Amino acid sequence: MCVLAAIAWRAAASQVFPSSAYDHLTPFSTNDGEALSNKFESELVAKGSIPDPGRWVSAARQVLFRNPLEADVVRVAAMSMLATDRQVDQARSRMRLAERVSARDLETQLWLLEDAASHDDVAGTLSHYDRALSVFPRTSDLLFPILTAALDDPQIRAELVPYIRHNRPWAYMFVGTAVDQAKNTEDVADLLARTGGSRSVPGNRPLETMMLKKLVSNGQIVVAKHYADGMAVTPEMREGLRAFGFSQATSAADLRPFTWSFVEDLSIQTQFERAEGLRVATSSGISGVAADRVMVLVPGKWRFTQKIELPSFSPIANATWLVTCLTREGPREIFKQRLPQESGRRNISVTFDVDQSCLATRFRLTVFGQDDQEDSTLTIRSVELHKL
């Protein structure tokens, strides 16, 4: 998670600080601390190094003689002294002084962050991450990718726990970035599990749902299901994960994809009512997924049963169930069942096998609207799943 101090400073400074309007270094008046630091930053960004560091030390001392509480000038003196005689201990002491004067100097935090990281001081490094990100949210573009890449280290995940648990100002955005960008989403799941998840920080619930979907799409089914079980803190939620039929519990949005997802947009509408079941309507020539769910099933033979009702006086939607086995190598089709096109009510049943390679089974209903001025519809009154 180490950041090279000069690169971090240049990247952050180019985002945070305006261009200096000062074209010369001296003389600086006793109140010219901001002018000195802006000029220093401008030259460092432009040249990538500190030219003639001795003059910067002299100028910084001149300003500090009358105005000692200028954190940015203390930092300029520290960096210039380091470039002059490589006295790291003295530079570190002055950087810590700059931080005590003001924790709101970004470059000081980045230098101390880099220094702590170079000594494998994880707790110290993260404390400077926290200060930099809390005061300068825009540095997330610079710091989040580095912190996200470091999540593969268990010690870093452990040290991050209190920051996430106490919902620091940057924590929510960081977890969202990590869910989206982490090389291994399992590391993010471990971090959130250590914090207590949304039981500890309720506002993180949407991020947990995002993570479940990412874990499933990456084939990390076991981790995803274990985490979803931890999210199900009420009897209704636990029943929603176990039961298969359509209900409010089995369609809870925050536990997807382990609960039913009913798609609705301008061209495909789904409406679930407890007494009527799931009604699907799709526009002419439009196809898409109307219902989708992942279930973790024990290996063996299963029976899938549904009760359907097809309209008599309007177009019947073409509908197909696709059931796939999710394996470590990717999805594999178990069976595909196209629903009939004759109006009326009927029961349809099919048996299928789940083998040892199936980490989970996905049920997906796709529909297609007939070429007609009216919407094509169908109603699935119930679905059931039984182990044989």
Placement of tokens 């280290």 in the chain: 153
- Tens of pLDDT along 246-265? 999 999 999 999 999 988 67
Instruction: Give the residue with greater pLDDT, 81 vs 146.
Output: 146
Of 67-76, 140-149, 220-229, 337-346, where does the model show the most confidence? 220-229
Q: What is the mean pLDDT of residues 90-98?
A: 64
Nearest in space to 230 (alpha carbons), one of 205, 251, 247, 210: 205
pLDDT score of 384 = 94
Q: What is the mean pLDDT of residues 124-138?
A: 85
pLDDT score of 20 = 36
Q: Two tokens at 206?
A: 């949407």
Q: Are the folds of 5-135 and 261-387 the same?
A: no
Query: pLDDT at residue 148 above 90?
Result: yes
Q: What is the mean pLDDT of residues 85-111?
A: 65
Q: Which residues contact 217 (CB under 8 A, 6 or more apart)?
A: none
Count of C-beta atoms within a 10 Å radius of residue 56: 25
Query: pLDDT at residue 353 above 90?
Result: yes
pLDDT averaged over every residue in the chain: 80
pLDDT score of 315 = 84
Query: pLDDT at residue 347 above 60?
Result: yes
Distances (CA, A) of 366 to 270, 283, 321: 12, 13, 7
Q: What is the band of 54 on the pLDDT scale with cuts at 50, 70, 90?
A: low
Q: Two tokens at 348?
A: 């349809």
Q: Two tokens at 377?
A: 């519809």
pTM of the shown model: 0.77
- Name the pairing type of β-strands 344-354 and 300-310: antiparallel
Q: Which residues contact 246 (CB under 8 A, 6 or more apart)?
A: 260, 272, 277, 278, 380, 382, 383
Q: What is the band of 3 on the pLDDT scale with cuts at 50, 70, 90?
A: very low
Rounded percentage of the chain residues whose pLDDT exceeds 70 = 72
Q: Which CATH class is domain 5-135?
A: mainly alpha
Instruction: Give the residue with greater pLDDT, 57 vs 382.
Output: 382
- Decide if domain 261-387 falls under CATH 2.60.40.1180: no
How many Å from the N-terminal Cα to the C-terminal Cα in the chain? Answer: 52
- Tens of pLDDT along 295-310? 999 999 999 999 998 8
Taking the C-alpha atoms of residue 75 and residue 95, their distance in angstroms, rounded to an integer, is: 6
What residue ranges do the domains of the chain occupy? 5-135, 261-387
